[in-house]
C-alpha cells in the first residue's frame, strides 16, 4: 500500500490488500453452480431464433411468414417493421466526438439489411429448436445491393453510399497537428515509413451473448437477465427505447462467461428480445450461437495506418506522423460509438516518449460488414504496434540497440506530472524502472548473445520489445461528457448484519476477472473482518448502488476505492456504536478480526455480533438521541485526471522457421505498473490472459471477409483463437506507482497485456528475420505472410 494511507499495515490480521487470495466465488463456479443467463429457465419462457441476412447489403422487399407461423410450437413471427412499433431506433453518436455521424439503427432491420448476419425477422417458439425449424420456413424476398467492403475505397466517389442521407461513407475524421512536424522530418537524420495493417478480429467469449426479457404486465415491469458489463447503462437504454420509465426496468446480471468488452454494447438482437417480451407478455430468451456470435458480436481493429518516425543519429525521436483508416461496419455502435478506437489511436501513438512533434489523421468509414466497437484494450494494440514498430525500424536504420533506443526516448520517471504530444495527462509513470526491471528479468544481454550464437547454426530467434501506456479508471471524459448516460462513478453500500456478517453491494460487475474478490478483500480490510464474513452482491439494478460496471480497466480502481471508503465509513459507524455501549472514546477503539478492541493493545472489548445485537434488538439500552447507522454508502470517481494512465513494457522471445514461416513462441515477459496491487494473483492472470488475447490477433485471429462482404470463417474450426499449447510461459513483474487520486492507489490492469503483446511479437519476428532484411508490419502474421515477406512464395 502507498504511504499516504495511514490505515494500512500488511502485518495485521484482515490485511487483504496486496495478498494473492483465491476468489470467493470459485467454489460455486467450479461446482457448476454459477448463475449464467444461458442456463436460466423461467416459467412460460419462449425462445427466439433470428432469420439473418445472407447478404452483406440487400433490400427487403417482403417477408412471408405464413408457413413459419403454422409450424409446431411457434408462438409468433415478428418482422422489423412490426417490432419498430415497440422499440424505437437509435443513433450511435457522442457529442464530444465532433462530426461523428451514423444512421438510425433498428432492433431488427426494417427495409434494408446492411451486413451479412443482421437480423431481419424473429421467430419465437416453445424451444430454440422449434424456432430454428420455423426460421428455415420464413421466406424473405431480398434484392441484393452492391456492398461496400474495402475500407480503402469506401470514400471514393464511385463507391455507393451505405446511407445516402449521410452524404458520404465517412463516419468520423480527426486531425491533430502538434509541434513542428514538418521541420522535425526535414531535419531528421533518418525517417522510416511503413504501412501497418491490422486485421479485423473479435472477442471470443466462452459463454455467448445471452439475454432473457421478462415483461410482467401485472406490475408493468420488465426484468432483464443479461450477460452485460454495464447493467445501469442497459437499464437506461432499454427503458428509453421501449418507452418505459427507468424504474420499470430491472437488469440482473449474475455470472457472465467472459466479456472482454464484447458485452458492454447495445446489440440490436438483444433489444429485440426484450421488446418481444413486452410484445408477447411472457419471458423470451435468446442465446447467440457460435455462428451468430461471429457474425454479430462486435469486431475490432481493422485498421490500415501509414506512419512515419523522424529520428536523430543519436537515437532521439523528433517526430511521429500517422494517417489511419478504419472500417467500422454500417453503423456506429450504440451507445459508445465505433469512433473511440480510432480516436484512441490518435491519442496514444508516441505517448510513452518525450517527443512533442506529432501529426495524426484518422478516418472512420462505413462498410457492409459486421460492426466494430470497443474490445479489450481499445486502440492500444494499434497505437502500440505503430509506435513500437516504428521505433524498432528506426533503431535498425540507425544501428542502435532497441532497448537503448527506448531508454533514450522514454519520458523520465521524475518528469511527472506531464503530458503527451496529443495532450494526454500523465500523473505518474515508471517507464524507466519498468524497462530496467524487464531487461534484468529476461537477461537481455544474455539473450542477445544466445541469439547471435544460434544464428550461426541457422536458428533464427528474435527479441521484441514493446513499451506501452494504458488508459484506466476513466472519468466522465470517456462517455459522460459526450452526452451518454454511462456512469463513470461507482457506488458501494456496506452493512453490518445482525449476525455480525457483512453485506457489500457494489455497482461494478463480474465477468470472471475477480471483481467480487477484490471488493471483498478491500471491504474486509477496511473494516477489519475476516473475508469469509463478507458477502458481495453485484449485477442487479434493483439491489446495488448506481454505477458504471466493469469495463475500461475501471472496476478495481474506481469500484475498489468506493468499497474502501464505504468500509472505512462503516468502521467509524460501528466504533461509534461500540463506544456508546462501552462508554469509551471511539478513537481509542479499533476493529480487528471482527472484534472491537482497544486500539494499540488489541484487547478484545466486544465482537461485532454483539454490537449488532444491541443496535438492532436492544437499541433501548443506548443513550437517548444516539442512532446507530450500520450501513454506509460511498461513491467514487476520479476528477483530477481524465484517466489514470498505467504503463509497462513487454518482451517476446520466439523462433521463426524461415523455410515454413511458422513462428514458435518461446517466452514472454511483462513488467507493468497498475499502482497498488489489490490481489497479485488476479493482476498477474489478467496480464497473462491479456497477453494471450494480444498474441491471438498477432498470429492467428482474423475475421476473413470476401469481396461480397461474406464472413468466410465464422466457426471455431476456421477462426483460430490462441490455444494453450502454442502459448509461451509468461513472466510478470511489477513496478508500483499508486495514483494519488484515491486512497487505495489502484489503477487498472485488465487491458495492459493486450495493449503491448502484438507489438512485442511483431518486433520479435522482425528481429528474428533481420538477417534476411525482412520487414513485416501486417497482422496476423500467418505463415503465408512471413513466407511472402521472405520471398519464398
Partner 1 sequence: MKAAAFDYVRPASVAEALELLRRHGDAAKLISGGQSLVPALNLRLLAPEILIDLGGLDLRSIAMDGGVLRIGALARHVDLLNSALVAEHAPLLALAMPHIAHPAIRNRGTIGGNLAHADPASELPAVMQALDAAIVVEGADGTRRVDARDFFTGIYETVLAADEMIVGVEIPVAEAGRRFFFHEFSRRSGDYAIVGLAAAATVAGGTASDVRLCYFAVGDKATLAEGAGAALSAGPMSVERVAAAQAALAEDLSPQDDQQGSAATRMHLARVVLARATAALFDDPALAGRTAA
User: For binding to partner 1 (CB under 8 A), which residues are involved?
Assistant: 128-129, 132-133, 136, 289-291, 455, 458, 460, 658-662, 700, 704, 712-713, 717-718, 720, 722-723, 725-726, 771-772, 782-784, 787, 792-793
**Using an 8 Å Cβ cutoff, are 558 and 548 in contact?**
yes
The three-point CA angle 302-303-306 to 5° equals 160
Q: How far is the CB of 690 from partner 1 (least distance, A)?
A: 20
Q: How far is the CB of 772 from partner 1 (least distance, A)?
A: 5
Q: How far is the CB of 456 from partner 1 (least distance, A)?
A: 9
Phi, psi of 80, rounded to the nearest 5 degrees: -60, -40
In the three-class reduction of DSSP (H, G, I as helix; E, B as strand; rest coil), residue 571 is classed as helix
| Residue 284 or 305 with smaller CB distance to partner 1 | 284
Q: What residue ranges in 328-456 does DSSP mark as E strands?
A: 358-365, 418-419, 425-426
Instruction: Kindly compute the dihedral angle of the four CA atoms of residues 477, 481, 483, 489, in this order, to the nearest 10 degrees.
Output: 60
Q: How far is the CB of 262 from partner 1 (least distance, A)?
A: 19
In the three-class reduction of DSSP (H, G, I as helix; E, B as strand; rest coil), residue 5 is classed as coil
Q: How far is the CB of 57 from partner 1 (least distance, A)?
A: 22
| H runs (alpha helix) in 350-416 | 380-398, 402-409
| Residue 89 or 658 with smaller CB distance to partner 1 | 658
Q: How many CB atoms lie within 10 A of CB 193?
A: 11
| Residue 735 or 762 with smaller CB distance to partner 1 | 762
| Residue 616 or 662 with smaller CB distance to partner 1 | 662
Express the helix, strand and coil content of the chain in percent, nearest 5 each: 30, 25, 45
Q: How far is the CB of 270 from partner 1 (least distance, A)?
A: 18
| Residue 516 or 701 with smaller CB distance to partner 1 | 701
Q: How far is the CB of 658 from partner 1 (least distance, A)?
A: 4
Cα distances from 731 to residues 447, 653, 685, 753, in angstroms, run 15, 12, 10, 12
Question: What is the C-alpha separation between 577 and 586, in angstroms, rounded?
Answer: 8
Phi, psi of 390, rounded to the nearest 5 degrees: -65, -40
| Residue 220 or 718 with smaller CB distance to partner 1 | 718
Q: How far is the CB of 383 from partner 1 (least distance, A)?
A: 27
| Residue 285 or 635 with smaller CB distance to partner 1 | 285
The full length of the chain comes to 793
| Residue 159 or 713 with smaller CB distance to partner 1 | 713
Instruction: Report which of 682, 509, 511 is spatially closest to residue 36, judged by C-alpha positions.
Output: 511
Instruction: Report which of 590, 437, 455 is spatially closest to residue 528, judged by C-alpha positions.
Output: 590
**Using an 8 Å Cβ cutoff, are 327 and 341 in contact?**
no
Question: What is the C-alpha separation between 769 and 241, in angstroms, rounded?
Answer: 54
| Residue 163 or 301 with smaller CB distance to partner 1 | 301
Q: Are strands 170-178 and 729-734 parallel, antiparallel or unpaired?
A: unpaired
Please, is 376 exposed, middle or buried when counting C-beta atoms within 10 Å of its C-beta (0-12, 13-18, 19+)? Answer: buried
Q: How far is the CB of 431 from partner 1 (least distance, A)?
A: 33
| Residue 132 or 173 with smaller CB distance to partner 1 | 132
In the three-class reduction of DSSP (H, G, I as helix; E, B as strand; rest coil), residue 191 is classed as strand
Q: How far is the CB of 725 from partner 1 (least distance, A)?
A: 4
Amino acid at each position: 500500500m502507498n504511504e499516504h494511507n495511514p490505515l494500512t499495515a500488511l502485518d495485521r490480521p484482515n490485511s487483504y490488500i496486496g495478498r494473492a487470495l483465491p476468489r470467493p466465488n470459485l467454489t460455486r463456479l467450479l461446482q457448476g453452480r454459477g448463475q449464467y443467463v444461458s442456463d436460466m429457465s423461467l416459467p412460460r419462457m419462449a425462445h427466439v431464433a433470428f432469420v439473418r441476412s445472407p447478404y452483406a447489403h440487400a433490400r427487403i422487399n417482403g417477408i412471408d411468414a405464413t408457413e413459419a407461423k403454422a409450424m409446431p410450437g411457434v408462438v409468433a413471427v415478428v418482422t422489423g417493421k412490426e417490432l419498430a412499433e415497440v422499440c424505437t431506433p437509435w443513433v450511435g453518436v457522442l457529442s464530444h466526438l465532433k462530426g461523428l455521424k451514423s444512421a438510425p439503427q433498428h432492433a431488427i432491420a426494417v427495409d434494408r439489411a446492411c451486413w451479412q448476419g443482421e437480423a431481419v425477422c424473429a421467430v419465437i417458439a416453445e424451444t430454440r429448436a422449434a424456432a430454428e425449424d420455423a426460421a428455415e420456413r420464413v421466406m424473405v424476398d431480398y434484392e441484393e445491393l452492391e456492398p461496400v467492403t474495402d475500407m480503402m475505397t469506401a470514400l471514393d466517389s464511385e463507391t455507393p453510399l451505405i446511407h445516402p442521407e449521410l452524404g458520404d461513407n465517412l463516419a468520423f475524421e480527426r486531425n491533430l497537428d502538434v509541434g513542428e512536424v514538418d521541420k522535425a522530418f526535414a531535419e531528421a537524420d533518418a525517417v522510416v515509413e511503413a504501412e501497418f495493417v491490422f486485421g479485423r478480429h473479435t472477442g471470443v467469449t466462452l459463454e455467448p451473448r445471452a439475454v432473457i426479457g421478462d415483461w410482467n404486465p401485472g406490475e408493468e415491469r420488465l426484468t432483464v437477465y443479461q450477460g452485460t458489463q454495464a447493467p445501469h447503462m442497459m437499464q437506461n437504454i432499454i427503458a428509453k427505447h421501449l418507452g418505459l420509465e427507468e424504474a420499470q426496468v430491472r437488469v440482473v446480471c449474475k455470472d457472465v462467461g467472459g466479456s472482454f468488452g464484447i458485452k458492454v454494447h447495445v446489440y440490436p438482437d438483444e433489444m429485440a428480445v426484450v421488446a418481444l417480451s413486452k410484445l408477447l407478455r411472457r419471458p423470451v430468451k435468446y442465446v447467440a450461437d457460435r455462428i451468430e456470435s461471429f457474425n454479430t458480436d462486435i469486431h475490432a481493429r481493422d485498421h490500415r495506418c501509414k506512419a512515419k518516425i523522424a529520428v536523430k543519429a543519436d537515437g532521439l525521436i523528433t517526430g511521429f506522423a500517422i494517417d489511419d483508416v478504419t472500417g467500422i461496419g454500417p453503423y456506429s455502435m450504440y451507445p459508445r460509438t465505433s469512433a473511440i478506437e480510432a480516436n484512441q489511436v490518435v491519442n496514444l501513438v508516441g505517448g510513452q516518449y518525450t517527443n512533442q512533434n506529432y501529426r495524426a489523421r484518422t478516418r472512420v468509414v462505413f462498410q457492409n460488414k459486421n460492426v466494430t466497437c470497443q474490445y479489450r484494450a481499445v486502440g492500444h494494440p494499434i497505437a502500440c504496434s505503430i509506435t513500437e514498430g516504428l521505433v524498432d525500424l528506426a533503431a535498425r536504420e540507425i544501428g542502435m540497440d532497441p532497448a537503448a533506443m527506448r531508454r533514450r526516448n522514454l519520458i523520465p520517471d521524475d518528469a511527472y506530472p506531464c503530458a503527451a504530444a496529443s495532450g494526454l495527462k500523465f500523473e505518474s509513470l515508471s517507464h524507466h524502472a519498468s524497462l530496467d526491471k524487464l531487461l534484468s528479468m529476461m537477461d537481455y544481454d544474455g539473450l542477445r548473445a544466445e541469439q547471435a550464437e544460434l544464428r550461426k547454426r541457422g536458428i533464427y530467434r528474435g527479441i521484441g520489445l514493446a513499451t506501452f501506456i494504458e488508459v484506466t479508471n476513466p472519468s466522465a471524459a470517456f462517455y459522460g461528457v459526450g452526452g451518454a448516460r454511462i456512469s463513470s462513478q461507482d457506488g458501494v453500500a456496506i452493512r453490518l448484519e445482525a449476525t455480525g456478517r457483512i453485506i457489500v453491494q457494489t455497482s461494478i460487475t463480474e465477468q470472471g476477472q475477480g471483481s467480487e474478490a477484490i471488493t471483498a478483500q478491500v471491504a474486509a480490510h477496511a473494516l477489519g473482518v475476516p473475508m469469509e464474513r463478507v458477502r458481495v452482491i453485484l449485477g442487479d439494478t434493483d439491489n446495488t448502488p448506481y454505477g458504471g460496471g466493469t469495463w475500461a480497466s475501471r472496476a478495481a480502481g474506481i469500484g475498489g476505492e468506493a468499497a474502501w471508503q464505504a468500509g472505512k465509513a462503516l468502521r467509524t459507524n460501528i466504533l461509534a456504536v461500540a463506544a456508546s455501549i462501552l462508554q469509551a472514546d471511539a478513537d481509542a477503539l479499533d476493529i480487528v478480526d471482527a472484534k472491537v478492541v482497544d486500539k494499540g493493545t488489541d484487547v478484545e472489548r466486544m465482537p461485532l455480533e454483539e454490537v449488532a445485537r444491541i443496535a438492532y434488538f436492544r437499541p433501548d439500552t443506548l443513550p437517548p438521541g444516539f442512532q446507530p447507522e450500520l450501513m454506509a454508502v460511498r461513491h467514487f470517481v476520479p476528477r483530477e485526471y481524465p484517466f489514470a494512465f498505467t504503463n509497462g513494457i513487454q518482451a517476446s522471445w520466439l523462433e521463426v522457421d524461415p523455410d515454413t514461416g511458422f513462428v514458435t513462441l518461446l517466452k514472454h515477459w511483462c513488467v507493468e505498473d497498475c499502482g497498488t496491487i489489490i490481489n497479485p494473483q488476479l493482476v498477474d492472470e489478467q496480464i497473462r490472459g491479456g497477453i494471450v488475447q494480444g498474441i491471438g490477433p498477432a498470429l492467428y485471429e482474423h475475421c476473413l471477409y470476401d469481396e461480397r462482404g461474406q464472413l468466410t470463417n465464422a466457426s471455431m474450426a476456421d477462426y483460430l483463437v490462441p490455444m494453450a499449447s502454442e502459448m509461451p510461459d509468461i513472466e510478470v513483474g511489477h513496478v508500483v506507482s499508486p495514483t494519488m487520486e484515491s486512497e487505495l492507489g489502484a489503477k487498472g490492469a485488465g487491458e495492459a497485456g493486450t495493449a503491448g503483446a502484438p507489438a512485442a511479437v511483431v518486433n520479435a519476428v522482425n528481429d528474428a528475420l533481420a538477417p534476411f532484411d525482412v520487414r513485416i508490419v501486417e497482422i496476423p502474421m500467418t505463415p503465408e505472410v512471413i513466407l511472402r515477406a521472405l520471398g519464398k512464395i
